């Protein structure tokens, strides 16, 4: 299963990308995370449905100095499998 996730709130400049990578790695998920120019964070993540549910709950919580006000979750069809989890700049 693959999701594209957009997070809004206090999500840039607070270690959110690094938190997301560590969390994804701990669950064995694949994909990437990046900051967007409009202040949101975008995540593309792929893995087992049950594991993804736990990952999404962790993103709502975020790192200590973050605050997630809104999360947009879009299910996507996986064309090619993703490998590893990266931070994009």
Cα–Cα distance between 13 and 2 in angstroms, integer? 26
17 is catalytic: yes
Catalytic residue, chosen from 35, 40, 75, 88, is 35
For this structure, is 88 an active site residue?
no
Q: Which of 2, 4, 17, 22 is catalytic?
A: 17
Contacts by 24-30 with C-beta closer than 8 Å and gap 24+?
A: 24/55, 24/85, 25/85, 27/51, 27/54, 27/55, 29/55, 29/85, 30/81, 30/82, 30/83, 30/84, 30/85
Residues marked active site are found at 17, 35
């Amino acid at each position: 299963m693959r999701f594209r996730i957009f997070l809004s709130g206090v999500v840039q400049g607070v270690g959110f990308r690094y938190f997301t990578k560590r969390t994804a790695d701990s669950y064995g998920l694949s994909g990437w995370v990046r900051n967007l120019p409009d202040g949101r964070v975008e995540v593309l993540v792929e893995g087992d449905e049950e594991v993804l549910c736990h990952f999404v709950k962790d993103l709502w919580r975020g790192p200590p100095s973050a605050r997630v006000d809104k999360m947009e979750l879009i299910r996507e069809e996986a064309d090619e499998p993703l490998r590893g989890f990266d931070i994009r700049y």
